[in-house]
Chain A
């Protein structure tokens, strides 16, 4: 793994943290005051900052730092997370997301916006009301990245640092020590008195290691003071008895010496005295009777278990030091066992307390989902598996077919085995598909941001309610869902909801509600977007349609048909081109993207009460249940979801209408009859309907058509193989598949065929699709 891969992981993690951040903030917004929610929000920003720092993403670091500081105020109860505060934080989360995206994909962020939010966040942290956006302060107010390692040097004075609480980290690098030895006698000399306290050892520091580090600075001599060492019978193994006096010659300076003791400075008395040139090495034994101790580094560099410390004549000293060492490590087992037992009891009591709290917080479900073990897998691997399973399905179908063809009695054990194989294959396929299934939550969360932004721009007050966020659907579907949804949400807020005054006048709450729900329904996912706005102004839509020559001035349209006019290409309901619709596209493009996913979209609207958009999408784009039919000698697959019913027309039910049109009468209503073979140019003239089968299909506008095919072969689940990847888009054809007999069959694009039957040719349809 290299840094680029880790960076990729970082951005993935950012996405998760941003989602976590947003959902946490939204929970707080809903009145959740669980400290763990605040902690999770804080950690999300903290993690992003930590990773960003490692990659030198300074903009991200500095913004995250300010954000984190303000969140820390909330965490420590210095700042009440009111709606006002959370509004700033939600916007900050958006900016953080932008900064992350820019860091990954390049581009630029809205500097003014992030500078403004930094000011607002800082004001909150100081306990002020957020400054109004109208009074922009200089952008330079943005703080720099958090100060890092190379902070202020330690005080030069020789005063002990024991009680100094304001620790300052000092950069430390062994690179500095690689140089050739200079003439030692010319180097500045220092006397160091180092007296560890017991705490130094209990925190895992080690005097020997500190002395080793010190020795790397230059030539030194060490004197160990053992005066305080009592007899073995009185020795407390937990106490530090030794102190050291060190004389060192180094050109690295006092800071370097102090930085050796960086981790230990609280837990020792340390005096560093710079000596005059001539003073070095002598006159230092005045007050402390010390024995010189040759310091043998090779002992440390060897086996870690080897006794540490001293050689030759100082064996006595070594023995004493080792004794203390061993004693410290061994400690008083009995008392500690008791202590640990006590701790264990406390811990389990605390666990129970925590469990009770958690249960009370009604977050059980969330906790459960977080606890489920997961692994991360490259999408490529899953896709390869899906592809292979697709091949397996095809292969299994081919095998079944050839067995049936060669086995006349049809009840052999091979046949039964094959049926089991078919079932297993299907199950494997479902399971593999489930790997790709993801909850729609991330997309829904993105919509929350869209709502906030548009609410800001339009000056409307909007609340987004989401339901069924955990509904799962294929990842490809999710990825392609964001864009049409974003546009629909924009429309709902911009065009659907009224201004607050108007709402109040109509007896509605000033705050509008946009509701986004997802649910599974009969093998599809249904996503509903509703608003409690004014609903569709049918008069205006109708007038606009007439102005744009979409309908005749005297056309007699049902309410539903008028509502569906907004899906027509080039139709825009906004009277003025607002900031939003200016950059947006028409609802026709939304409809097309939904259709491209194999979905349908409908609108129902109630004047004064709002509109509901209903989208129904397949759960996966990899397989579909289809009806295999024959048309002019060709085998085609019609998606089962499009078919309402099939019927065998009799001569009496067929009626001619105009020169070429024919209608079929079904239960006292007429439905246009469409010959699929003719539309696809499989044949020059229309086939006789009585000799074929009619498939009643429902198209997007809600209108029905009867598609004429020659014969039905059966129903089958087919693996979708894109034609566009290897060929080009074929009008009227959605994709292709491989059937059990190994032949390729085309999958019919029902909506395109229906549209073509309305008079548009398939070529036009395709050029529109390309434009969309």
Chain B
């Protein structure tokens, strides 16, 4: 069975890259444009892993992760954060919100798939 990935990112460019990379790697991909939409589609999407951006309108990545962790069903789901640079403070906040790991931009397909493999069975 294909693993399902929910990606949350407001950038159309990054969304497309995620989609292409994940589909090529054999994942099923569901996409949301910001944290609010991410939480809305969470139940229906029923993902195995989540990849989320931090800077987003309406609800940012921190808020989104907290929202996911509050959901009984998804409190232990692996969540990877896309971060632009190794900003320790941002990473800590993401971790405190409940992020599992991170992928450092610039976007690199290999790094993305590696990171997903590392947190999923």
A1-B16, A54-B17 as given contacts; A209 in contact with B102, CB under 8 Å: no
A53-B105, A204-B77, A263-B100 as given contacts; A146 in contact with B84, CB under 8 Å: yes
**Could you tell me the distance in whole angstroms from the C-beta of B56 to the nearest C-beta in chain A?**
7
A173 to B78: give the CA distance in the assembly, Å: 19
Q: Is the CB of A209 within 8 A of B10?
A: no
Known: A47-B10, A169-B102, A333-B72. 12 other contacts (CB 8 A): A1-B20, A36-B57, A46-B84, A50-B14, A147-B86, A148-B85, A202-B76, A206-B78, A209-B118, A263-B101, A263-B102, A336-B72
A168 to B84: give the CA distance in the assembly, Å: 13
A36 (CB) vs chain B CBs: closest residue: B57
Q: Is the CB of A166 within 8 A of B88?
A: yes
A370 (CB) vs chain B CBs: closest residue: B57
List of A residues within 8 angstroms of B114 by Cβ: 172-174
A603 to B101: give the CA distance in the assembly, Å: 63
Q: Is the CB of B56 within 8 A of A54?
A: no
Tier of interface size on chain B: 35 or more
A42-B55, A148-B106 as given contacts; A204 in contact with B78, CB under 8 Å: yes
**Could you tell me the distance in whole angstroms from the C-beta of A595 to the nearest C-beta in chain B?**
38
Q: Is the CB of A167 within 8 A of B14?
A: no
A-B contact pairs, 19 of them (CB 8 A): A43-B57, A47-B10, A47-B13, A47-B14, A50-B11, A50-B106, A51-B11, A54-B106, A148-B85, A151-B86, A166-B88, A202-B69, A202-B75, A208-B121, A262-B101, A304-B48, A304-B121, A328-B76, A336-B72
A174 to B48: give the CA distance in the assembly, Å: 21
Q: Does B42 contact A (CB under 8 A)?
A: no
List of A residues within 8 angstroms of B55 by Cβ: 42-43, 46-47
Q: Is the CB of B14 within 8 A of A206?
A: no
List of A residues within 8 angstroms of B117 by Cβ: 174
**Could you tell me the distance in whole angstroms from the C-beta of B7 to the nearest C-beta in chain A?**
14
Q: Does A13 contact B (CB under 8 A)?
A: yes
A209 to B14: give the CA distance in the assembly, Å: 27
Tier of interface size on chain A: 35 or more
**Could you tell me the distance in whole angstroms from the C-beta of B16 to the nearest C-beta in chain A?**
5
A204-B79, A263-B119 as given contacts; A54 in contact with B14, CB under 8 Å: yes
A201 to B119: give the CA distance in the assembly, Å: 11
A149 to B119: give the CA distance in the assembly, Å: 18
**Could you tell me the distance in whole angstroms from the C-beta of B81 to the nearest C-beta in chain A?**
10
Q: Is the CB of A209 within 8 A of B107?
A: no
Most buried by A among B70, B71, B118: B118
Digitize A166-196: 1 where CB-to-B-CB distance is under 8 Å, 0 elsewhere: 1111011111000000000000000000000
Q: Is the CB of B84 within 8 A of A40?
A: no
Q: Does B104 contact A (CB under 8 A)?
A: yes
Q: Is the CB of B107 within 8 A of A263?
A: no
Q: Does A159 contact B (CB under 8 A)?
A: no
A173 to B110: give the CA distance in the assembly, Å: 8
A204 to B68: give the CA distance in the assembly, Å: 11
Digitize A52-78: 1 where CB-to-B-CB distance is under 8 Å, 0 elsewhere: 011010000100000000000000000
List of A residues within 8 angstroms of B105 by Cβ: 50, 53-54, 148
A1-B20, A51-B14, A263-B100 as given contacts; A147 in contact with B85, CB under 8 Å: yes
Q: Is the CB of B17 within 8 A of A206?
A: no
List of A residues within 8 angstroms of B86 by Cβ: 147, 151, 167-169
